[in-house]
Chains A and B, each alone.
Chain A
Amino acid sequence: MSTTEQIQDLTKQEYKWGFITSVEEDRLPPGLNEDVIRAIAQKKGEPEFMLEWRLKAYRYWASLEQKHQEPKWANVQFPPIDYQALSYYSAPKQKKELKSLEEVDPEILATYDKLGIPLHEQKLLAGVAVDAVFDSVSVATTFKAKLAEAGVIFCSFSEAVKNHPDLVKKYLGSVVPYTDNFYAALNSAVFSDGSFVYVPKGVRCPMELSTYFRINAQNTGQFERTLIIADEGAYVSYLEGCTAPVRDENQLHAAVVELIAHDNATIKYSTVQNWYPGDKEGKGGIYNFVTKRGKCLGKNSKISWTQVETGSAITWKYPSCILQGENSVGEFYSVALTNNFQQADTGTKMIHIGKNTKSTIVSKGISAGHGQNTYRGQVKILKGAQGARNYTQCDSLLIGDKCGAHTFPYIEVRNASARMEHEASTSKIGEDQIFYLQQRGISKEEAVSMIINGFCKTVFRELPMEFAVEAQKLLSISLEGSVG
């Protein structure tokens, strides 16, 4: 079956990842206080330093919460969240520690199977190592042995805390401190799992690493944390995908991702975010409030973010780069789609500190239905960033006449040698374009998906092959019914 055929089939579908898996849960009752933080740390058997860090984060968060200091500057609207009504820990019940995939609850394996996530190593075709996070807990990491051979550590965050506490202690919060913002503080206090990657000096990670996030339980938040460290001269490409069941109420997802690239190291981080977006009337859906930041610590280091954001009721995220090392490079490629009543306020921050640092921003926003899509980006050139360069391209595509596209670029330059370029465009998908393609025999749905894929091409070509195909499919499905 050709890609276009697949797309066509898929355009006829609704959100197909919306099923619920019935597994026994081990969950904490709703509510948030210091005892809950202690209970989480205890359940996870964490060392003292983690508990202390969590408690500091909790106290900071509680001080903000008391003063209602949630970020209010984003161009999104939602009723206040009752943080005491949420449960902060939900895990599939298991009697003992898992030693192999065979011991994982078959219901969970079946879930990932349905989602097309290859957890069984023998089924792996593309050689992608997968870490799967179900609700709050990492259930399985594949290809561990092969990675270990190369010296790469790829495991759940909990395992990292147990087996590599020194690395965790050294880097946790070094890019996104718990004081960074309201949701980062909340995450730091209650995060229950996530992924951890360490690529040692001079190692090129032999395969793509991937994490698959799944929210299953009701009335829970998902708070995972990812920490990736590429030591001198290392290279790693990391992918994440996300889905959630269809539920009427909104669910909170507040993740934190920290990346650290040492001298001559490269980290490529790709996201295909497809959390449940809510129904056609805007009921339900995930609040995706995420803090992602990478630090190009060493000279000639590079961090590249690529994101395709099609899901969630509200998306609030700004994957950013701190360009500290000389000649370091930051990139941000984004496609954000909002349909029906989805809202997205997304973009990036590029902070140029080191000499001759370069950043590239390519943002493609697509709005359909009543969707509201905001690009918010900051480029900051500090005094010492002699010879810094930035290129920003920011395009919006509108489908229909009830949606909106908004652009807020912030540029701050404190070094006269900096070179900045900014291009922006807004266009409406044209009836004449659709007709032109139809006149060549191409169906209307396929015509729309073709035009949109063309619009997003500069971003898609940054994605690993299988992800690019997945992303194209997702766009088609997410736009289903938006063109009459």
Chain B
Amino acid sequence: MDKGMSLLEIKNLHASVNGNEILKGIDLTINPGEVHSIMGPNGSGKSTLAGVLARREAYVVTQGQIMFNGKDLLEMPAEEVACEGLFLAFQYPVEIPGISNAYFLRTALNAIRKYRGEEELDAMDFLPLLREKMRLLEMDEKFLNRAVNEGFSGGEKKRNEIVQMAVLEPRLGVLDETDSGLDIDALRIVANGVNSMRNKGRSFLVVTHYQRLLNYIVPDFVHVLVNGRIVKSGGPELALELEEKGYSWTEPELARR
């Protein structure tokens, strides 16, 4: 990637789910190393934006453009987007019975490595790497051989998402309401995991309803999404202001457009 080129560039994005327009013209640019947060009330389109970026089929883009890593993201199937380095930490991680966490994650990592023209890792090389990341997220080793997310508690599932992100080392991590359902200890553990991955080349898009996560993962930019549009953008202080005044505070902004 050329120096100075943005990692993600969203222009005038409109998207529908089941024929209903949810996103109504989003513009957003994320440069390498930046952490952006999208905040907004329920139903504002936050998770739809995350789903569109990950190329979820049910989300239909009707207008606009998304460039990721210098490529047209809307031309790529979901697995290619993942291989290009976009990771989505799911709001509701899915269970895959009968497939162990370790096998699943090695298959995923090798698919991505293969895409990049890198050598695939065998189990001997892979397991130490996975163990290290699990320690970081304070997850017990027994989760190595447990089926993917099966019988995991809500908090364990969210931690497992961050373990996966740590192993797959994406260019852009999209966290979709990762804080929902987490107690304060789990929140701290997850935030530590994310913060340890922050560097000059890696960016994050943190989608959240509440400001509380942003005390731990401090963003460079905060955007307020209301009714499918970004109505306000600012620094981390915007999140605090929102917490204090509530989302209704932004409504006039919306009305004026």
Contact = CB atoms under 8 A, between A and B. Distances in A.
B172 interface: no
Contacts, number: 80
Given A431-B57, A435-B56, A435-B57, A442 B107 contact: yes
Contacts of B109: 441
A442 B111 contact: yes
Interface stretch (B96-104, B132-140, B197-205, B237-245): B96-104
Nearest to A452: B98
B112 to A, nearest CB: 4
B147 interface: yes
Contact of B108 (A441, A444, A454, A457): A441
Contact of A454 (B56, B96, B105): B96
A441 B94 CA distance: 15
Interface in A79-115: none
Interface in B212-233: none
Nearest to B88: A439
Contacts of B87: 439
B82 interface: yes
Nearest to B78: A438
A451 interface: yes
B21 interface: no
Contacts of B97: 454-455
A62 interface: no
A446 B105 CA distance: 13
Given A432-B94, A442-B79, A450 B120 contact: no
Q: How large is the interface on A (under 10, 10 to 19, 20 to 34, 35 or more residues)?
A: 20 to 34
B94 A430 contact: yes
Contacts of A163: none
Contacts of A440: 82, 104-105, 108, 111, 164, 168
B8 to A, nearest CB: 16
Interface residues of B, number: 33
Contacts of A451: 96, 99
Nearest to B167: A440
Contact of A435 (B78, B104, B107, B120): B78
B49 interface: no
B35 interface: no
Contacts of B108: 437, 440-442
Nearest to B82: A441
26 contacts: A431-B58, A435-B78, A435-B94, A436-B93, A436-B94, A438-B82, A439-B54, A439-B87, A439-B88, A439-B90, A440-B104, A441-B83, A441-B108, A441-B109, A441-B111, A442-B79, A442-B108, A443-B111, A444-B79, A450-B104, A451-B99, A453-B98, A453-B99, A454-B98, A456-B98, A457-B98
Given A441-B79, A456-B98, 19 more contacts: A2-B120, A4-B107, A431-B57, A432-B94, A433-B95, A435-B78, A438-B82, A439-B79, A439-B88, A440-B104, A440-B164, A440-B168, A441-B82, A442-B79, A442-B108, A450-B99, A453-B98, A454-B99, A457-B99
